Amino acid sequence: MLTLADVKTHLKLDPTATDEDALLTGYLAAALGMFRTESKRRWPDVGEPALAKASDPAINPPTLVFLRYADYTVLSPDEQAMADQYILLTLGHWYENRGSVAVGLNVTEVPQTVKMLMNLLREPTL
């Protein structure tokens, strides 16, 4: 899960500056909420049951390897890394483009990378 320090590092802000902490915390909460709502996926809870498989039963004792979480809506470690990037890219876009209208400027939309990551992570629905 991302922290305020992660956000400041991503935005290349001074980690000791606190003047925008409230804004960044709000953006982080909003981006996380947007991710959860749009993807219908979530991070694992502490102690979340996971499925494991023996990678090679010939090894004694057999080595257990993470397969996936028992709940298919829980993000795997690889998916968590992608979700973090989705959140950071979205948050960075909001930080750089704070208004909904830009007079006399080129209007920018959410980067294609963000859309691509959501398409990979979104839980399919019928």
pLDDT of 126 higher than 80: no
Question: What pLDDT score does 24 carry?
Answer: 97
Asked, for residue 62, whether it belongs to a domain, the answer is: no
Secondary structure of 25-71 as H, E, C letters: HHHHHHHHHHHHHHHCCECCCCCCCEEEEECCCCCCCCCEEEEEECC
| Cα separation values, 85 from 7, 19, 47, 54, 112, Å | 10, 24, 24, 31, 13
Question: What pLDDT score does 99 carry?
Answer: 62
Domain harbouring 112, CATH code: 1.10.3230
Asked, for residue 51, whether it belongs to a domain, the answer is: no
pLDDT digits (tens, 9 = 90+) for 46-99: 989 888 877 777 777 777 788 888 898 999 999 999 999 999 999 998 898 776
Q: How many domains does the chain have?
A: 1
The residue among 69, 73, 79 whose CA lies nearest residue 48 is: 69
Domain span at residue 32?
4-43+76-121
Asked, for residue 85, whether it belongs to a domain, the answer is: yes
pLDDT of 20 higher than 60: yes
